[in-house]
Amino acid sequence: MSNEKDLYSFTCTLNNGEEKKISDYKGKVLLIVNTASKCGFTPQYSELEELYQNLNKSGLEILAFPCNQFGSQEPGSNEEIKEFCSLNFQTSFPLFSKIDVKGSKADPLFNFLTTSKPGILGLEAIKWNFTKFLISKEGEVVGRFAPNTKPKEIANQIENLLNS
């Protein structure tokens, strides 16, 4: 891998302000998603929660990173975002602080993800909310899915990684 860092070298800030090392998730399959509360894809929170409920005990973790860079569809504070997710989708997977996922102020984790797994035509930049990155138990970025790919459409790939 050309990156000097690996996935587990990153630390991110949870929605409540607590620092969380990605290395705490070593040995788990991860689905990392940039999210937004006022997006046409926001109902995917329901499918993400369903996946989490069904597969968390088998080793899946879903990490949600709210972002306001696409159509200003995540304008709220961290507290408002958490309340929205809890009230509307009863989410129980880890929710991180609002970040940028592209551009000069992009979170280093998302720079790593996008260079590890470029999108269509080799473009690295994230194009919209609910872009999903699938990570193996070994910390390898094995999949990148467009916003319109529903979480249930990648359930089989997740299960295959969990069983490998």
DSSP state letters, 46-100: HHHHHHHHHHGGGTEEEEEEE---STT---S-HHHHHHHHHHHH---S-BBPP--
**C-alpha closest to that of 120 among 100, 97, 146, 157:** 146
Catalytic-role residue among 12, 39, 67, 85:
39
39 classed as catalytic: yes
Lateral strand order in the sheet of 132-135 = 60-66, 29-35, 132-135, 141-145
Task: Name the helix (H) or strand (E) containing 145.
Answer: strand 141-145
Q: What is the C-alpha separation between 117 and 133, in angstroms, rounded?
A: 8
Residue 147 DSSP class: T
**C-alpha closest to that of 33 among 1, 64, 69:** 64
Please identify every residue annotated as catalytic. Answer: 39
